[in-house]
Structure 1
Amino acid sequence: MKNNYLSGLICFLLFFSCEFDKSVKKDLVTGLKGSGNGLSCDAIYLTSNDTKLNTSSFIYGEVFKVNFENISGFNKEENFAFPGMKFLITSEAGDTLMHNTDLYENNAKGFDLSPLLLLTEITTGAPLNSGGNYNLQVQIWDKKGEGTYSSELDFEVIPNPKIAIESDEISYEEIYLYSDLRKTVLPNNSAKYGEEIYLLLEGLDGFKDDNGLSYIGVRMKATDANNNIIINEADLIGDSPINISDLQSQLAPNFIFQETDIKSPIACEVYVWDKRGEHTIEVNFSLTLE
């Protein structure tokens, strides 16, 4: 009986010593989890615009960061750590959609920061699609040692809830606001005065095909918070036809609000109709100007 107890104690001590260098973290709210072997960190969490997130659901085009706070365990040279970091995003079917083999590939000098915070930034735009579920894997490794730290997150991408869409037999893949100046999607419907904004309608289908051409109209109207009509365009297209292939790729009506005395928010309406058919699509959204 005594020998059995000692054997159990020895096995426990051996198991404990083997696991001593492993660090496991999990954010119970977002489902973000991490596990280290030789490397450890105080916390892993998600942020957007420097605000900690409590969700793993992101609006199409939204940018979020995976934060590894006070990560340690690196073999340092003259007090400098040399981490590598790679990430992989896959679809539910297992297809690779985004991949970077080393975000710190060009950092030859290392980091001498203490505590050390490492970040992975993800933009939930193309090739990701709204309505999709995805898996993110991030791996950090010590370029001067054998330590590693891995994290994983299951997340979803949703359409912008601030964009209302009414469609009559017109299908689409994505509809979103885009800033040409900043080269970014505007998931919060917030723009700057004097900034050119595009409403991008991608993958439109359902308009009448007339030998590879489509005859559509695009009406645009914008009204400020004081009920002043700022834009009132009856038809941005006119009599010119559009190639069906171009229409299926992207329709991009754009607008700009120059005057800073325009009262925000701006109520915007874009209405697209088939001039040789009956199908339509209407998009309404409110734009906040800063």
Structure 2
Amino acid sequence: MAPARDRRTGFSRRRQYGLFLGYVLTIAGAVVGAALLVLSAFDPPAFAALRMGAAGVTAPVSAAFASAGAAIASVPEGIGEHFRVKGENARLRADLKRWQALVLRARTIAYDNRRLRTLLSVRDRATGVVVTARLVSSTASSARRFALLNAGRWNGVRPGMPVIGPDGLIGRVVETGPNAARVLLLSDAESIVPVRRARDGLPAVATGRGDGNVEIRSVDTADVRFVVGDLFVTTGTGGLYAPGIPVAQVVSAGRDQVAARTFAHPDTLDFAIVTEPFVPMPMPVPVQGPGAPR
């Protein structure tokens, strides 16, 4: 059986001292309260000075507790703000990526529109246009330089037809299929184009180098000086290319033989016009047999 709990104070000296101290504090508080009450009733100025003195002592303590309370209360708000800002940053990054994709697409469309407008003006000037098509690939890093055109015999494309881009001459068709054609680029080693210098009509020949550029060589004239920036266009000689089509621009000065860069760069080939040869090829004459009527 558990012993009964004795609540009397005589069994513990600590409890006795605590009880006595409680009585003393209670009586002292009552006395101080009564004194303050009497002072406030009979001497209000003195009570006001005492009250302000007490307020001056307790004000820093109250301010410290208020600051601590505000800091503690702001912790949940700060945590919420952190996660809100983090989520907002993630949304902004996603929006930035989406807008970057849209800007890139808009720039691509603007570039295509600009080149199509240029090609349209070339088409208006060109004669004997067969078809306008897209160059879907090119061998820009191979020793042989070809491009693939997404138009062929079904579109009227035949071998030997010139191919012109928005910036200038691209090359000529060498092979055709039903809906595709192979184009020999100007930079191919087997490409030879008669050209003339735009500023004075100096005749020359543009020969492919196989490295993306062409070589300009003078003809019928010795000790010819070429300067950087000289422009060369087709002459119409040979009957394949119409005269006046931009071909290349000299990139290094020299005499008799210099390097030039084609206006139709292989890495930017996209749209092209296939035209009839400048001088139509004569129709083949059928061979008559021995018994054929004359």
TM-score, normalization by structure 1: 0.23
**Which of these two proteins has the greater Rg computed from alpha carbons?**
2
* Greater fraction helix: 2
